[in-house]
Amino acid sequence: MSRKIERKADWMLGATGQFGRDSLFGVSENAPAVVEADLDRIDPNPHQPRRLFDDGEMAVLAASLKRHGLQQPIGLKEAGGGRWQLVYGERRLRAARLLGWPTIFGVLVTGDSEEIALIENLDRADLSPFEEADAYAGLMERHGYKAVDIASRFGRDKAEISRTLSLCRLPEAIRNEAATLRPAKYRLTRIAAEKDPERQWALWRALVADLTAPPEPEPPPVAVATGPAAPEPGGRAPNPEPTTPRRLSRKLRDAHQLLVGLNDEPQPLGDDDRDRLREMRDAIDAILGDGVLVGVSAG
């Protein structure tokens, strides 16, 4: 039978059942209630935002739990009749079941379980772009929220929420293929911005081709001339147009996609990241001014 972990003594509780502050344990009235619940008495969250669970990732998580134990409890809500409803932490719950654990520790949740589950998954970056979009859409449908309500509740920009919700317009076939290819969200929202289905498919096929293209072979090493270049007719030395090595060009393309994604979907930046971006800007200005690549501080 599941049991609450409250054996530190009844004297820690006030008359109302709230935790009082104790000089030994320092427990405040806001301390969360922790339970140890039987796994076979935990029901799934009907509004679980995460839909895909990779078997390989689950095996890795189970191995981590076996070696290090449960570092973060799952979220549970009392369901009556001695049962619990899962709020968040389904990956941890599944891993515990793989290990054959009889019980698992959880924190009692008293707020809106649907919103708390989404917040927890967003904070852990556990959701795919489509899972995030479906979760927002579900909240809007069940609670009558608008995009601005979602933005205020989750601390996000309204434009970002609207772009994410646009993914709900993409065909199921694209969603299924994206689950395997895992393109960046900003690339998916650009496709979803197109209203014409044929145009959406054309852009999707172009993206698939880009994501599945084999890497370009490395060019053979170029011999470095040790003597002066042969003069062109008329007495002038040749001045061929310089080209960027392919490997470096790919890295520049990846950096460009990252910066475009940050511009399309702004994210909060810490001071260190802001300093790195400023150094990158200064380095780019220097490179474009000199026409050659120069050393950049790692920051």
Domain count, the chain: 2
Out of 61-70, 98-107, 219-228, give the one with best mean pLDDT: 98-107
Give 195's pLDDT tier (boundaries 50, 70, 90). Answer: confident
Question: Does the pLDDT at position 102 exceed 90?
Answer: yes
Integer Cα distance of 49 and 150 in angstroms: 15
Range(s) of the domain holding residue 165: 130-211
Rounded CA separation 238/231 (Å):
6
CA 2 to chain centre: 33
Q: Give the pLDDT confidence score for residue 192 in this predicted structure.
A: 93
Are residues 177 and 109 part of one domain? no
Q: What is the CATH number of the domain that holds 68?
A: 3.90.1530.10
Q: Are residues 34 and 107 in the same domain?
A: yes
DSSP state of 33: P
- Beta strand 74-80 with 103-108: parallel, antiparallel or unpaired? parallel
What is the pLDDT averaged over residues 255-267?
Answer: 70
Last residue of a domain, one of 151, 182, 211: 211
Distance CA 83, CA 212 (A): 47
Of 128, 7, 152, residue with least CA distance to 57: 128
The pairing of beta strand 34-38 with beta strand 3-4: antiparallel
Question: Which comes out higher in pLDDT, residue 170 or 295?
Answer: 170
107 in the same domain as 156? no
152 located within any domain: yes
- Least confident span in 18-22, 90-94, 256-260: 18-22
Residue 105 falls in which region: left (phi positive, over 0), alpha (psi -120 to 50) or beta: beta
* 273 in a structural domain: no
**Of 211, 237, 254, which marks where a domain is finished?**
211
pTM given for the model: 0.46
Question: Could you count the other beta carbons within 10 Å of the beta carbon of residue 177?
Answer: 15
Q: What is the CATH number of the domain that holds 182?
A: 1.10.10.2830
CA pseudo-torsion sign 255, 258, 264, 268: negative
CA distance 271 to 265: 19
Q: Please check whether residue 281 lies inside any domain of the structure.
A: no
Element containing residue 12 per DSSP (H, E): none
Residues 9, 104 within the same domain: yes
Is residue 119 over pLDDT 90? no
Domain for residue 53, yes or no? yes
